[in-house]
Amino acid sequence: MLVKSGMSSARVPGSACMRSMEASEIARLIKESIPDAEVVIAIGNSLNQHATFGYREGLFANRTLIHINISEMEIDKAYKADYALVSDAKPALIALIDALQQKVGPRPPARVDHRDYEARLLLPLPGGIHPGKMAQMMGRMLPPHGIVLADAGAHLAWLGYFLELADGQNFRKPGTFGPMAGHVNGAIGLKLAHPDRAVVVGCGDGCYSLSGFELMTAVEHSLPIIWIIFNDGEFKLIKLYQMSAFMETGLVEFQNPDFAAYARACYADGYTVETLEEFERAFAAALASKRPSVIDAKITRLALPHYSPSPEGTIAGILEMIEARFRGGGL
Ligand SMILES: Cc1ncc(C[n+]2csc(CCOP(=O)(O)OP(=O)(O)O)c2C)c(N)n1
Ligand SMILES: [Mg+2]
């Protein structure tokens, strides 16, 4: 059985903490596991365009799809579920496990072969910090009960793959709609609601520039939120989409201001970091300072999040796209 979810538990087995799973990660899972999977349980997943290779037909053919989602509207929207449960993830899983336990009795703990989101080797690349390594570091340094929010963009994928959480910590991404900067600002409300928990935003430079002036609100109300800007000087996700659709890109690279100087001009703390070691020091200082802080992290443009346009894998997906171009249509 394959449990394929929009949210999955992380470091602590059976924990309630959630890790977001991205389309490409699902792609990898599907490639590695779905060929043999008889049952797919989708938890908190909308089975939207990005998670399903553009609503690919037959994705769940010949297998049982169990769809758990808190919103009834998501059920049967794109794929007909064989069984559906309208519920928040945690009570649904507890109920399912209870029911299964009664049916099958005690079982030995599942064997976990590997957790490659944390252990996967990330080779150093020139041109700045590796965003995957930075996401790993964020997970390792996040205080107990800390919350990480991601915005829309490639940085979300890095956080989705590599941020490992412990029980009681949370990660939230901007959902199916994916509004840029939604969490640059949303962090302020979250911090007010949870003043005792560390609130950290992992945002792109494009997202931050969309409404980073809200920093003044955090300063005004002394809200110690930490914004970590994945600064690559581009709309990386859009660049990737342009590349996969047109094999060329345009109008997606831009110059940024000195975000750390900007933060200081707003009476917040600002850090500029160009190496992982500098990031570690800056993040530790920002966590300790209890002050609104912006960390401008210069990341390499060369790191590409795992992305596959096909459940058969990256190469097969590229071949499919080339074939579609020859036929004169899009995918
Ligand atoms: C309000 C809004 N406008 C446009 C988009 C489309 N969009 C999604 S990601 C993205 C680029 C994000 O750039 P950046 O914040 O630098 O993140 P990166 O992909 O570089 O990590 C855009 C334009 C969106 N999701 N929301
Ligand atoms: Mg960017």
Could you tell me if the CB of 74 is within 6 A of ligand 1?
Answer: no
The number of domains in the chain is 2
pLDDT at 124: 85
Lowest mean pLDDT among 5-14, 241-250, 269-278, 285-294: 5-14
pLDDT at 33: 58
Could you tell me if the CB of 204 is within 6 A of ligand 1?
Answer: yes
Residue in 149, 161, 238 to alter for ligand 1 test, most ligand atoms within 8 A of Cβ:
238
Whether residues 82 and 177 fall in one domain: no
- Measured in Å, residue 7 CA sits from the centre of ligand 2 at 24
Phi-psi region of 313 (alpha: psi -120 to 50; beta: other; left: phi over 0): left
Which of ligand 1's atoms lies nearest the C-alpha of 208? 15
Does residue 159 belong to any structural domain of this protein? yes
pLDDT at 8: 35
Residue 3 has pLDDT above 60, yes or no: no
Lowest mean pLDDT among 58-72, 264-278, 303-317: 303-317
pLDDT for 77-92, tens place per residue?
Answer: 999 999 999 999 999 9
Whether residues 195 and 287 fall in one domain: yes
Give the domain range for residue 54.
2-104
The first and second tokens of residue 83, run together, are: 């069984």
pLDDT for 296-316, tens place per residue?
Answer: 999 999 998 876 667 766 667
Could you tell me if the CB of 228 is within 6 A of ligand 1?
Answer: no
Judged by DSSP in three states, 237 sits in helix
pLDDT for 6-55, tens place per residue?
Answer: 333 333 322 223 334 455 555 556 556 556 778 889 998 888 887 787 88
DSSP H helix total and E strand total for the chain: 12, 12
Whether residues 160 and 94 fall in one domain: no
Whether residues 250 and 171 fall in one domain: yes
Q: Which residues, including other chains, have CB under 8 Å from residue 216's CB and lie 6 or more apart?
A: 266
Does residue 196 belong to any structural domain of this protein? yes
pLDDT for 151-165, tens place per residue?
Answer: 999 999 899 888 999
Give the whole-angstrom CA distance, residue 81 versus residue 251.
41
* Cα dihedral 217→220→222→223 (10° resolution): -10
Residue 62 has pLDDT above 70, yes or no: yes
Whether residues 97 and 184 fall in one domain: no
Which of ligand 1's atoms lies nearest the C-alpha of 153? 19
Give the whole-angstrom CA distance, residue 190 versus residue 199.
8
Q: Give this prediction's pTM.
A: 0.83
Token pair 């190469």: residue: 315
